[in-house]
Structure 1
Amino acid sequence: MTDKVRVRYAPSPTGYPHVGNIRTALFNWLFARNQGGSFIVRIEDTDQARYVEGAVEAILDGLRWLGMDWDEGPEKNGAFGPYFQSQRLDRYRAAAEKLIAGGHAYRCYCSSARLDQMRAAQEAAKIPTGYDRHCRDKCEPGPEGVTPVVRFKMPLEGRTYFNDLIRGEVAFENALLDDFVLLKSDGFPTYHLANIVDDHDMAITHVMRAEEWLSSTPKHVQLYKAMGYEPPVFAHLPMILGPDRSKLSKRHGAVSIIDYKNQGYLPETMVNFLALLGWSLDATTEIMDVKKVIENFSLDRISKTAAIFNIEKLDWMNGSYIRALSLDEFTDRARPFLEAGVPEAAAYDRDYVKSALALIQERVKKLGELRDQPELTRFFFYQNLEYHAADLVGKGMNTALTRQALQATLDRLEKLEGFGIEAMENDLRPLAAELGLKPGQLFGCIRVAVTGQSVSPPLFQTMAVLGKDRALARIREAIRKTRELAE
């Protein structure tokens, strides 16, 4: 085995990549980068019946989005593509034949009907289900045209031991493990055979995978032994649970990694958050850029206990990363989401969009809010606001008083030479007292007049972005609305 660390991420394209799957990829990638090793992507597409169209593209898109580059594979257009198991079928069939010739595997002609009857009888007898080894010692061909599967001959006695870097020494009773299928009747290998052959051929040194594969590892250890291969080092990663400690599901916020991208989470947030699902730098550090995570990543700090996925923590972390962006970077990242929610924004130049986004950067937790909550920004880009005239009349106000307040505001602002934030506030704050109003009452009706809604970024900053001509035109329109309300 090579001294250089070589790890792999081997997803099955039977669905879009979920949080646990991508966390496994990330831990492998971080370990490879920390050790100066190689990270390989291998698509395990041998389960043709469950293949999902578009899943491979989603897997690769997710890796690229998170910045997880891979180091080798078939070259295409100057870049590495992943390996595909479906392109290596002859290799797996040859391995199966080698195992049969060595007495470590056999052909099984049992029909699906017989296997169903066998399982039903086992369940009725309340004994563990598993293949009864009917064909193990007497290989009898079935009806003409029946293609057999190939099964591995598990030892019938003793125990299989292996060392796990996270869990220590693990042992399984061989008698409890059945003769599992290596090669299916369609000529495609099972996961067990294909991943053993591939890991050997690709000189994989460390197999880091989900805890759910722990029970399959004794089968793999026996396969390595039968093939005469040196096994890699194993590390089975802790489960990810919801805050209620139940199995992670969509109700906990666990969706495809592509969904997180579409919701407007930043890739650097996701790398930081996923790294902390089972690994930690210390007891307190939460925010870490990828460089710091790579520098400090080690297998000895991976927890044995389940990690807790907390969507509220993810939202908090994403908000922190958004606030840390420069305004230029925030504008670049936010604009596609903004224009998806407020198409009118596409007609405005970058400087204007940037000045508008500056007022909401502190409030946004996900970039998708700009698309899904157009009320956050639409008043910056709409030519005409749509709101009910009654919305202008705030608490403790009436139509006449509201119209008087807006007219007085218009008179003051028309005389204002500049339209700076401080100048507007110095001019309008005393006006509230002169009119016998609380500042909130005056500013409330002005806010509705210039934005069409009762909640917005700070009023004077918003008016400064809108500019004097547009802000005053909206106040004039609001005065007209109050006249209609009185009629």
Structure 2
Amino acid sequence: MRIMRGRFAPSPTGEIHLGNVWTALLAWLQVRSAGGIMVLRMEDLDPERSRQSYADRLMADMQWLGLDWDEGPDIGGPYAPYCQGQRRELYQAALERLEAAGMVYPCYCTRAELAASAPHAGETERVYPGVCRQRKLDNAFKAARRPALRLAVPPGQYSFTDVQAGFVSQDLSQEVGDFVIRRSDGVHAYQLAVVVDDAAMDITHVLRGYDLLSSTPRQLLLYRLLGQRAPVFTHVPLLIAPDGHRLSKRQQALSIAALRAQGVTAEAIIGYLAFKANLIDVPQPVRAAELIPSFDMTKLQADSVIIDSREICR
């Protein structure tokens, strides 16, 4: 029986907030309660937004909260490096395998052209119409534009059973269309990078936010095309502010750094999130390690979780 290998894979593009810690805590508890191995990976693919200072602060905040890891950028491990920015050759090798199989084509659509076909307010996401799949272009046109690369999605349903969300099925060709696996600026897309990394690092369980549920069938297709075994997925409910908005790094008041500056303890933050996860009956200070013996994923509610930092014990 394989030992559980889970991961927390944040993007170092800002200070972490309660929403990030929510998924980190649950992923950490899932792994620690099973006696598994926890991996920390920095998803710093975007060179314009990622900063080493954010990565350093993130790791310091995680350690302060009592959420440790067994492999990561600072301590290494058997699957190093643990920063995506240092793993680009692996993504390129996977891309070339897909190209050799005839599954990839260049897309010369501009942002303006894609925006023109984007959904209006209230509409669901439109399927990429496949403009460039059969597009015949002369060399002058090609020289004037830098193409993205898209995966030619074959027809068919891609299904899986999520630990939290249940059965999920999606017809990618009809509901998503051919999706980008390398941007026009040469940066490999998240969908490709995350599959390559999770497969290469032998990740058996992925716990992340519900907002990524709809992207999972795309990743399942890539796992299949690359001949890799997909992990077990758990998509947990998101934390939302009292006004209904999803938490983001722009909300500085909910960052761990801001809460620390206000005198909030690590145990108070962990206890508040544990209460919201129905792991304890009242919001009270608790160490993350104390939650391991009684961790139960089935106690999580299905809907988004409303939080208010003013409720955290100080």
Please report the TM-score for the alignment, with normalisation by the length of structure 1: 0.57
Are residues 267 and 129 of structure 1, via their aligned partners in 2, closer, same or farther at CA, if it must alter by over 3 Å? same
Partner of 2:132: 135
Tell me if structure 2 keeps the 8 A contact 1:242–1:252. no
Cα distance change on mapping 1:196 and 1:51 into 2, 3 Å: same
Conservation of the 8 A alpha-carbon contact between 1:182 and 1:190 = yes
Contact 1:104 1:226 in 2 (8 A): no
Match of 2:116 in 1: 120
**How many angstroms does 1:208 deviate by?**
0.7
Bigger Cα Rg: 1
Within 1, Cα distance between the matches of 2:71 and 2:124? 47
Q: 1:304 aligns with which of 280, 302, 305?
A: 302
What is the deviation of 1:179?
Answer: 1.3
Residue 234 of structure 1 aligns to a residue in which SS? strand
Partners of 2:234 and 2:94 lie apart in 1 by: 25
Shift of residue 122, structure 1, vs aligned partner: 5.8
Tell me by how many angstroms 1:247 deviates.
3.6
Q: Which runs of 5+ in 2 are unaligned?
A: none
The DSSP-based 3-state class of the residue aligned with 1:155 is: coil
**Residues 74 and 45 of structure 1: CA distance in aligned 2, closer, same or farther (over 3 Å):** closer
Structure 1 spans left out of the alignment, 5+ residues: 319-487
How do residues 77-476 of structure 1 correspond to structure 2 at under 5 angstroms? 83-108=82-107, 110-112=108-110, 115-120=111-116, 129-138=126-135, 140=137, 142-144=141-143, 146-156=145-155, 158-174=156-172, 175-248=174-247, 254-277=253-276, 279-281=277-279, 284-287=281-284, 288-314=286-312, 317-318=313-314
Secondary structure of residue in 1 paired with 2:207: strand
Q: Distance in 2 between matches of 1:121 and 1:72?
A: 43
Distance 1:84 1:167 in 2: 29
* Conserved 8 A contact 1:8-1:41: yes
Higher RCO, Cα 8 Å, sep 6+ = 2
Q: What letter is aligned with 2:288?
A: V
* Matched position secondary structure for 1:61: helix
Identity %, equivalent residues: 36
Aligned equivalents of 1:34, 1:306: Cα separation in 2? 24
Shift of 1:71: 0.3
TM-score, with length taken from structure 2: 0.87
Q: 2:61 is matched with which residue?
A: 62
**Conservation of the 8 A alpha-carbon contact between 2:279 and 2:296:** no
CA-to-partner distance for each residue in 1:111-164, whole Å, 9 max, x for gaps?
52xx4135325668x8954432122245756433754322112234x4321111
Coordinate RMSD, CA, aligned: 2.9
Q: Provide the C-alpha distance between the structure 2 equivalents of 1:258 and 1:127, rounded to a whole number of angstroms.
A: 36
**What number of residue pairs does the alignment pair up?**
307
Tell me, yes or no, if the aligned pair for 2:209 and 2:238 is still in contact at 8 Å: yes
Q: Using a 3 Å threshold, how does the CA distance of structure 1 residues 122 and 300 change in structure 2: closer, same or farther?
A: closer
